[in-house]
Amino acid sequence: MSARDRILERVRAALSGRPPIDHPGPFAGWRPDPPSTDPVSAFIHGFEQAGGEAVRLASQQEATSWLATFAASYKSAAVGATVPAALRPQLPDAPPERAPLGVSMARGAAAETGSLILDSRDGRMIQLLPPTHVVFVPAPLIVSTLTEALNQVAHELPSALGLHSGPSKSADIGQVLVKGVHGPGRVLAAILEYWSEETDHE
């Protein structure tokens, strides 16, 4: 008998005669005062609360010029595989372990937790190794609850998703909060407000 069969056998024996308990149904995120603001404002609030930064980009033009200004202080960047050409900084490529800046494209975001949803196909190390991380997120993909945000990606799961909700932090040294312990110490959510189905594919 394999370990698998032995364990399952023991589980069945343990449960024999135990009344089965029904699943209580979907998680409804019960709150006394549900947030009334729109998902984008609520996301920015949550993300900033956790120490992240956010910028709203109203047009492609605005996005391009913001990126040019922001990238000017960096020497190189590691850019995610699914970041559209128009949103790639004009910087030399560097491997993630050496790049001072990482740029990723999110698959969505959840307002209630201030979480960006990142996809392994965009490149995991880019999301983790550079000390500064810029994440583009289309405004229409920012939804109110984490449940909705996870539902949005459920139809097609990659090998790994990462939920990033602010900069890396730790209080393991005497309960003093420090940022950028292993992951990025600075993270910016760049919200593409002009994004629509049509601009999705360039």
Partner 1 sequence: MRVRSREYSQEAARILEEQPEVRTAVTAATRTFDEHRANAYGEIDADAWRHWAQGVKSHVLTHLDSYLAQAEERLTHNGAKVHWADTTEDALSILGSIVESEGIDRVVKGKSMLTEELGVNSFLEGRGVHVRETDLGEYIIQLLGEAPSHIVAPAIHRSVDDIRALFHQELGTARDAEPDALAASARAALRGDFLAADMGISGGNFLVAETGTLALIENEGNIRLSTSAPRVHVAFVGIEKLLPRWDDLSGFLQLTSRAATGQPIGVFVSLIQGPRCGDDIDGPDVVHVILVDNGRTRLLADEQMWEALRCVRCGACLNICPVFRQTGGHPYGWVYSGPIGSILAPALIGLHEALPLPFASSLCGACVDVCPVGIPIPDLLLEWRKRAVDSGETSRGERLAMSAFTAVAERSGVYERGASLLRGLPLQAARRTLPMLKDWEGARTFLTPSPKPFRTLWKEGIE
Span 116-145, contacts to partner 1 by CB under 8 A: 120-121, 123-125, 127-129, 145
What one-character DSSP code corresponds to residue 47? H
Min separation Cβ 122 and partner 1, Å: 8
- Of residues 98 through 117, those in contact with partner 1 by CB under 8 A are 112-115
CA–centroid distance for 125 within its chain: 14
The C-alpha atoms of residue 138 and residue 118 are separated, in whole angstroms, by: 13
Residue 69 or 174 having the CB closest to partner 1: 174
Min separation Cβ 190 and partner 1, Å: 19
Min separation Cβ 82 and partner 1, Å: 9
The helix (H) or strand (E) run that includes residue 118 is strand 115-119
What one-character DSSP code corresponds to residue 105? E
Q: Which of 134, 142, 168, 189 binds partner 1 (CB under 8 A)?
A: 168
Kind of pairing between the strands at 142-143 and 101-110: parallel
Min separation Cβ 162 and partner 1, Å: 6
Tokens 């919200």, residue? 191
Tell me if residue 194 falls in helix, strand or coil. coil
Tell me if residue 149 falls in helix, strand or coil. helix
List the x/- string, 52-81, binding to partner 1 by CB under 8 A: -----------------------------x
Question: Which tokens is 187 given?
Answer: 């993270």
Of 45-53, 62-70, 136-144, 194-202: span binding partner 1 (CB under 8 A): 45-53
Is residue 184 close enough to count as binding partner 1 by CB under 8 A?
yes
Is residue 31 close enough to count as binding partner 1 by CB under 8 A?
yes
- What's the number of CA atoms in the CB half-sphere (13 Å) around residue 47? 28
Residue 30 or 201 having the CB closest to partner 1: 30
Of 56-64, 68-76, 155-163, 192-200: span binding partner 1 (CB under 8 A): 155-163
Q: Angle at Cα 154 formed by Cα 148 and Cα 158, nearest 5°?
A: 130
